[in-house]
Amino acid sequence: MVIAIDGPSGSGKSTTARLLAQRLGLAYLDTGAMYRAIAWAYLRSGLDASDTEGIRSLAVSTDLRIATIPDQPRVSVDGEVVTDAIREPRISENVSTVAAIPEVRKFLIRKMREIIAAHGRRIVVEGRDITTVVAPDAQVRVLLVADPDARVARRRAELGERVDETAVTDQVIRRDRDDSRVTNFTEAAEGVTVIDSTHIGPDEVVEHIVQLTRR
């Protein structure tokens, strides 16, 4: 079974996907971490944001590896472990730069599909355009949403004392705006179930999706 989960920043899709994968004994793929890893490589390279061909070349030549064990996250770039580094605010501020390049998206989408196939299609995949582009044939497709205030509060809790409320609000809202130019993750496609997590916790969301799998 492939379970595809889309949603904006702070909607709870990463936490939900990990818990769901653990409960159902499936692999877990955080596609956002893949874009973040390329953003990390881009910042390390010193390339200019306008050099889209350079960024594309960098992306396709990068040895990107990502673990798919729900409770053991690990991301490496060219042999260097960047699991924690890709969560830094500077990555969040720049990830849309690489995600907006069509050739980079095509490369990473192909890699995502390879990972899904390698796990025998027994995996929970979460990100931006999973239900419509990466795995449109997934047996269960969910769009997880939440109101802006709830999403900002969750992201602040996740980042702790590292950034203030204004910075987090800008990060969440601006990234959604930037990413919405290249992918639609705010409206559910036909056959996609919408779950609003504004007033419910991860366990309730997981239970809802488990019921969808049983149907």
Residues annotated within a binding site for ATP:
7-15
Our measurement of the distance from residue 161's CA atom to the centroid of its chain's CA atoms, rounded to an integer in Å, reads 23
How far, in Å, CA of 86 to CA of 89, rounded?
A: 8
How far, in Å, CA of 104 to CA of 102, rounded?
A: 5
Binding residues: 7-15
The number of beta carbons lying within 10 Å of the beta carbon of residue 118 is: 11
How far, in Å, CA of 164 to CA of 98, rounded?
A: 25
How far, in Å, CA of 141 to CA of 28, rounded?
A: 15
**Core vs surface per residue 46-84: b (16+ CB within 10 A) or e:** ebeeeebeebbebbbebebebbbebeebebebeeeebee
How far, in Å, CA of 155 to CA of 174, rounded?
A: 13
Helices of type H across 46-142: 52-61, 89-99, 102-118
